[in-house]
A and B are shown apart, each in its own frame.
Chain A
Amino acid sequence: EVQLVESGGGLVQPGGSLRLSCAASGFTFSASSMSWVRQAPGQGLEWVSAITPGSETTYYADSVRGRFTVSRDNSRNTLFLQIDSLRADDTAVYYCAKGGFYDHWGQGTLVTVSS
Chain B
Amino acid sequence: EIVLTQSPGTLSLSPGEGATLSCRASQSVSSGLFAWYQQKPGQAPRLLLYGTSNRATGIPDRFIGSGSGTDFTLTISRLEPEDFAVYYCHQIERSPRTFGQGTKMEIK
**Interface CB pairs A-B, < 8 A, 29:** A37-B45, A44-B88, A44-B99, A44-B100, A44-B102, A45-B45, A45-B88, A45-B90, A46-B99, A47-B90, A47-B98, A47-B99, A59-B95, A59-B96, A59-B97, A61-B96, A62-B1, A100-B92, A101-B51, A101-B56, A101-B92, A102-B37, A102-B45, A102-B47, A103-B47, A103-B57, A105-B45, A106-B44, A107-B44
* Contacts beyond the supplied A44-B86, A103-B50: 9 A-B pairs with Cβ under 8 Å: A37-B45, A37-B99, A44-B100, A44-B102, A47-B99, A101-B90, A102-B37, A102-B45, A103-B57
- Give B contacts to A, CB under 8 Å: 1, 35, 37, 39, 44-47, 50-51, 56-57, 86, 88, 90, 92, 95-102
Q: A55-73: contact bitstring with B at CB < 8 Å (1 yes, 0 no)?
A: 0000111100000000000
Range for the number of chain A residues in contact with chain B: 20 to 34
Contacts of B50 in A (CB 8 A): 101, 103
A45 pairs with B47, CB closer than 8 A: no
- Give A contacts to B, CB under 8 Å: 35, 37, 44-47, 50, 59-62, 95, 100-103, 105-108
A101 pairs with B35, CB closer than 8 A: yes
Classify the interface of chain B: helix, strand, loop or mixed. loop
B99 pairs with A45, CB closer than 8 A: yes
Contacts of B86 in A (CB 8 A): 44
